[in-house]
Amino acid sequence: MKKNTEDFLVSLYTTMYKIRNFEEQAIKLYRQGHIRGYFHPYLGEEAIATGVCAAMDGKDYITSTHRGHGHCLAWGADLKIMFAELLGKENGYCKGLGGSMHIADYTKNNLGANGIVGSGVPIAVGAALGISIRKEKQMVSTFVSDGGSNIGSFLEGLNLAAAWKLPVLFVIENNQYAVSTRIEDSTAETELYKRGIGFGLESVRLDGNDVLEVHKIAKSFIERCKNGEGPFLMECVTFRKSGHHVNDPGLYLPKEKVDYYKLHDPLLIGKKHLIELAGLSEIDIVEIEKVAMAEIKAAIDFAIKSPEMSEENFLKFVEEY
Amino acid sequence: MVNVLNAARELMYREALNEALKEEMDRDDKVFIMGEGIAERGGSYKVTEGLLEQFGSKRVFDTPISENGFTGAGVGAALTGMRPVVEILFVDFTMLILDQLINQAAKFRFMSGNTARVPMVLRTQGGVGNGLAAQHSQSLEAIFYHIPGLKLVMPSTPFDAKGLLKAAIRCDDPVIFIEHKLLYMNKGEVPEEEYIIPLGQADIKKEGKDLTIIAWSGMVPKVMEAAEILMKEGINAEVIDPRSLVPLDKMTIINSVKKTEHVLIVQEAVRRGGVGSDISSIIQEEAFDYLDSPVKILGGLNIPCPFNLNLEKMVVPQVEDIVRAAKEVVYSE
Ligand SMILES: Cc1ncc(C[n+]2csc(CCOP(=O)(O)OP(=O)(O)O)c2C)c(N)n1
């Protein structure tokens, strides 16, 4: 196995591991009262953001959702600044003013999580519109989930991007539930990639828990976007490993599905790739995890010790509104 | 004025709303409810719990995340004889349905020369909570207040919530019914026997003589707390809750102003362009000669709501702010 393939697989796994443990640690912080408000964990969906973002480069753009921590981390966000934002601290990505549902990094082309389902989609289309006017070799990936695929913003965004032939990759994270509503109860066509076909986009449905499969398809669509062949749509089938938000035990999730996805877990699949394709041992993997975990712990420490914005600084903002 | 009849039991705000829905659905088969997660899950704030079991899935059902679409479906059903109660999870999301509310529902009665009616209730929920940040913490009543053709109700107590929701469902015009996320667990007396509170009747939550404080929704409990503190400091405030902002019970407000000669309006919404400004202008037009000092409006800061909890407290009036503002009004000479 070539060294660069090994490195690549390790980096995919490391990213997924960091997302998983960022969320799990942040949930602990939530329970301890360090984090308040809404917090929608990306647990179980790590392979999607990881596979897609690994196929993009820093000049491209992403828009995210209310379940956005994974997208930010896969895009390369700094763990320290992420935790600081979740804790409402002044050195967080949004100075503690945005919080979990609004993390963004406009300096690095992360156009942000969004508290309004679907609203990131037309914004992604607009970023792509700018790219096409400027004639740059860039593209935009926009994440949305199954519930969000029923809202006008998404459907209008699809049509606009297709009509204007824009470099957008629509990534549907089909976790099969919108809060407690089953996908079967909210749409008569549950194979969501067909929404793309209906608007004239080349669209595929794939296993969203297999990071290599996600990456392979994303890579081809992204390259083709940059060659002016966009837009494209990929429907990544996945499942939430938790309730809708930290305070939802998710009791409505059927046991058979929960059990199936326990085994069909993106991290387990990623581990399998490391062992079978990169020839790593369990011990090698434990080492990788240790390093990542140390980074997470240090980031938490940093966030807890960081100061909040003072009233005085906040009032300076007020003056400008 | 309707008052607590047989002051027997206490209910939470959300339970009172639930009872109103049950009673009205029981009374009239044309009443049905739809919204996100309202059926099996019983709603984010449990307001619709038990309704699916009692009334079945034809009259209690979950919608896809298609707010503009299902609100429009509510308008169409209402226009053709049904009485939908449509739930939008957060008032912030009503920004997605403004065409159906403002260009459609609010206009049909008028545009049809009074032949069409839209008896729909749009239930939603607003206000600052605990760290829900800028897109889930707004108070947007001024937008609806501005539109002729919409009624606007914002109850502050379980008793008011129940009586007003029943009136809203029976109303033949579209009613925007905005609850407050911090009130759902508040308890208050609600009589066993049926009652209705007509839209357009303010309630005097506390009688007083030195100052009129006007507040609605989530600000009412804070104003009541402030009034107690003021009482100890020798200021006897009268607290008026309009309960419905459209129609607005001007008489109760003006009569109170004539008595106290001092007015403080407290609104959670940002200060600029709020309902408070309009109430203030009504008072100046209709009771200027009685005023002993300028009408003061204490509103939210003109800024989106920050996520950080300490900063969040700064953007909406707190009890101390209300006490301070009240003193400014009374001692302003
Ligand atoms: C326009 C809008 N409607 C409703 C909500 C409330 N809400 C937040 S997340 C959510 C479910 C979203 O489901 P889905 O798009 O499938 O994403 P998932 O939570 O499964 O990742 C809802 C209804 C919202 N934030 N915005």
Three state DSSP letters for A27-67: HHHHHCCCCCCCCCCCCCCHHHHHHHHHCCCCCCEEECCCC
For residue range A174-190, list pLDDT tens digits in order: 999 999 999 999 999 99
Domain of A202? Answer: 3-320
Which one of the listed residues B36, B136, B179, B180 is annotated catalytic?
B136
The whole-number pLDDT of residue A2 equals 67
Tell me how close the Cα of A155 comes to any Cα of chain B, in angstroms: 11
Tokens of A157: 């965004």
For chain A, say whether B135 makes contact (Cβ under 8 Å): yes
- In total, the C-beta contacts within 8 angstroms joining chain A to chain B are 111
Alpha carbon dihedral A135, A136, A138, A141, in 10-degree steps, equals -30
Distance between CA A123 and CA B292 in Å, rounded?
52
Chain A residue nearest residue B94, CA to CA: A116
If you count them, how many residues does chain B have?
A: 333
| From A43, A69, A117, mutation site for ligand 1 pocket: most ligand atoms within 8 A of C-beta | A117
The whole-number pLDDT of residue A4 equals 84
In 3-state terms, what secondary structure has residue A217?
helix
A181/B62 CB distance under 8 A: yes
The whole-number pLDDT of residue A319 equals 86
Nearest partner of A18 among A70, A85, A81, A60, judged by Cα: A70
| Amino acid in the structure at residue A95 | K
Distance between CA B219 and CA B243 in Å, rounded?
12
Helix, strand, coil tally for chain B in percent (to 5): 40, 20, 40
In 3-state terms, what secondary structure has residue B273?
coil
Q: Is A141 exposed, middle or buried (0-12, 13-18, 19+ CB in 10 A)?
A: buried
> For chain B, which residues score pLDDT lower than 50?
1
For chain A, say whether B313 makes contact (Cβ under 8 Å): no
| Whether the bond into B247 is cis, omega within 30 of 0 | yes
H-run or E-run covering A3: helix A3-31
DSSP string, A82-111: HHHHHTT-TTSTTTTSS-GGG--BGGGTB-
H-run or E-run covering A262: helix A255-263
Domains delineated in chain B: 4-189 (3.40.50.970), 203-330 (3.40.50.920)
Tokens of A172: 């549907």
Distance between CA A64 and CA B225 in Å, rounded?
42
The whole-number pLDDT of residue B55 equals 98
- Ligand 1 in reach of B298 Cβ (< 6 A): no
For chain B, say whether A321 makes contact (Cβ under 8 Å): yes
* Rounded to 5°, angle at Cα B280 from B278 and B282: 70
Q: Is A251 exposed, middle or buried (0-12, 13-18, 19+ CB in 10 A)?
A: exposed
Q: Per-residue pLDDT for chain A (321 aa), expressed as one digit of tens each?
A: 567 889 999 999 999 999 999 999 999 999 999 999 999 999 999 999 999 999 999 999 999 999 999 999 999 999 999 999 999 999 999 999 999 999 999 999 999 999 999 999 999 999 999 999 999 999 999 999 999 999 999 999 999 999 999 999 999 999 999 999 999 999 999 999 999 999 999 999 999 999 999 999 999 999 999 999 999 999 999 999 999 999 999 999 999 999 999 999 999 999 999 999 999 999 999 999 999 999 999 999 999 999 999 999 999 988 889
DSSP A246: T
Ligand 1: centre distance to CA B11 (Å): 30
CA distances from B327 to A318, B234, B290, B296 (A): 25, 10, 19, 11
Distance between CA A220 and CA B235 in Å, rounded?
73
Nearest partner of B89 among B148, B41, B32, judged by Cα: B41
Which residue in the set A38, A181, A317 is minimally distant from B37, CB to CB? A181
Is B15 a catalytic site residue?
Answer: no
Go through A174-185 and write b for each residue having 16 or more CB atoms within 10 A of its CB, e for each that does not.
bbbbbbbbbbeb
For residue range B238-287, list pLDDT tens digits in order: 999 999 999 999 999 999 999 999 999 999 999 999 999 999 999 999 99
Q: What CATH number does residue A269 fall under?
A: 3.40.50.970
For chain B, say whether A283 makes contact (Cβ under 8 Å): no
| Whether the bond into B221 is cis, omega within 30 of 0 | no
- The mean pLDDT value of chain A amounts to 97
Nearest partner of A73 among A124, A7, A12, A154, judged by Cα: A12
User: For atom 14 of ligand 1, which residue has the closest CA?
Assistant: A147
The whole-number pLDDT of residue B3 equals 54
User: For atom 12 of ligand 1, which residue has the closest CA?
Assistant: A178
Structural domains of chain A, count: 1
The whole-number pLDDT of residue A215 equals 98
- The mean pLDDT value of chain B amounts to 97
| Residue whose structure tokens are 């660069």 | A4
The whole-number pLDDT of residue A214 equals 98
